[in-house]
């Protein structure tokens, strides 16, 4: 289609937004901060006839903690995440990743829901959400609300289980433990506003480990063997840490692209895990 035929609608409520999606299905696409969408549109992709603007919907702005869940609305920006007192207390891992997304200008517009909807394997907020075992809230007019574990949400690069009539409305997760050790790491071609070549979200407590890698597979993935060994290890010396980190080699499934080769990504996955473990364990 021609860009001149494009339409942007700005519903005033979630119900109205869901009606647009239900009525127009594949012809309509949610538009949040536009930081990914606009680039794709300019590349000639994502030529959706109808864009449903959801950035300012009041129903998607929440950030709260209740009944054991921390809930973050889909339209909460990276800027709000990284400045939030609630995030600093309950999910510093996610806040740290939000700080590494793009530039301040992108952080002011880009949203958590948008990062999920774009479904890039290199999306920076996604490894923390895997490590937090978060759930993604989807809403439709016909089906109401459903919560999908973040690991089941992604089907591949750019593909998710979201139906065309559904909207990502929120993400929820249990808070990180107060004394827990955690680390977010991102390796890009330069320090600022680079797309990740490898990223790692790490959480450690006695008998508990979560290791999630970004940009080394068709979706973000968890290194379950590393997690098992980390949660069973009785003491961490340098040799143990190194041998567990080396296991990441077989757990990731990267491709070669313009940013890095598959072999380099495999090596760097191990290197990031070793570096992260040595830092949080002080070995």
Partner 1 sequence: MKVTVAVNGTYYTREVEPRLLLSDFLRHELGLTGTHVGCEHGVCGACTVLVDGQAVRSCLTFAVQMDGAAVTTVEGLTPAEGELHPLQEAFREAHGLQCGFCTAGFLMTLVPYLAEHPNPSEAEIREALSGNICRCTGYQNIVKAVQLAAAKGGGR
Work out whether 108 is an interface residue with partner 1 (CB under 8 A): yes
**Residue 276 vs residues 86, 214, 221: alpha-carbon distances, Å:** 24, 15, 17
Element containing residue 224 per DSSP (H, E): helix 224-232
The residue among 6 and 238 lying less far from partner 1, judged by its C-beta, is: 6
Of the candidate residues 21, 24, 55, 173, the single one contacting partner 1 (CB under 8 A): 55
| Dihedral sign, Cα of residue 135, residue 90, residue 113, residue 200 | negative
Segment interacting with partner 1 (CB under 8 A) among 33-41, 84-92, 198-206, 260-268: 33-41
Segment interacting with partner 1 (CB under 8 A) among 22-30, 49-57, 117-125, 130-138: 49-57
- Range list of β-strands (E), 18-60: 28-31, 50-53
Site track for partner 1 across 76-105, x = CB under 8 A = ---x----------------------xxxx
The two tokens of residue 44 are 């000639």
Work out whether 193 is an interface residue with partner 1 (CB under 8 A): yes
Please report the DSSP string for 140-182 in residue order. ETTTEEEEEEHHHHEEETTEES--TT-EEEEEEEPPPPTT-EE
Q: Report which DSSP code applies to 58.
A: G
The two tokens of residue 217 are 């597979």
Segment interacting with partner 1 (CB under 8 A) among 34-42, 217-225, 252-260, 267-275: 34-42
Interface residue list for partner 1 (CB under 8 A): 3-4, 6-8, 10, 31, 34-35, 38-39, 42, 51, 53, 55, 79, 102-106, 108-109, 191-193
């Amino acid at each position: 289609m021609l860009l001149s035929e494009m339409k942007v609608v700005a519903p005033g409520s979630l119900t109205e937004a869901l009606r647009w999606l239900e009525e127009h299905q594949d012809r309509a696409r949610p538009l949040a901060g536009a930081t990914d969408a606009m680039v794709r549109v300019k590349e000639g992709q994502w030529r959706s006839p109808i864009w449903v603007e959801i950035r300012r919907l009041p129903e998607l702005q929440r950030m709260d903690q209740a009944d054991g869940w921390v809930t973050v609305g889909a339209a909460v920006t990276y800027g709000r995440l990284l400045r939030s007192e609630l995030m600093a207390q309950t999910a510093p891992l996610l806040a740290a990743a939000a700080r590494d997304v793009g530039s301040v200008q992108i952080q002011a517009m880009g949203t958590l829901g948008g990062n999920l909807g774009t479904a890039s394997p290199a999306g920076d907020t996604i490894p923390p959400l895997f490590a937090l075992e978060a759930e993604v809230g989807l809403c439709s007019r016909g089906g109401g609300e459903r919560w999908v574990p973040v690991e089941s949400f992604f089907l591949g690069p750019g593909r998710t289980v979201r139906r065309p009539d559904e909207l990502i409305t929120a993400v929820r997760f249990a808070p990180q433990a107060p004394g827990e050790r955690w680390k977010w790491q991102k390796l890009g071609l330069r320090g600022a506003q680079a797309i990740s070549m490898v990223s790692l979200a790490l959480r450690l407590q006695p008998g508990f480990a979560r290791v999630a890698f970004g940009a080394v597979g068709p979706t973000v993935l968890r290194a379950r063997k590393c997690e098992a060994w980390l949660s069973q290890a009785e003491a961490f010396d340098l040799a143990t840490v190194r041998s567990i980190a080396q296991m990441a080699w077989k757990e990731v499934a990267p491709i070669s692209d313009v940013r890095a080769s598959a072999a380099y990504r495999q090596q760097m996955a191990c290197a990031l895990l070793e570096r992260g473990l040595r830092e949080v364990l002080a070995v």
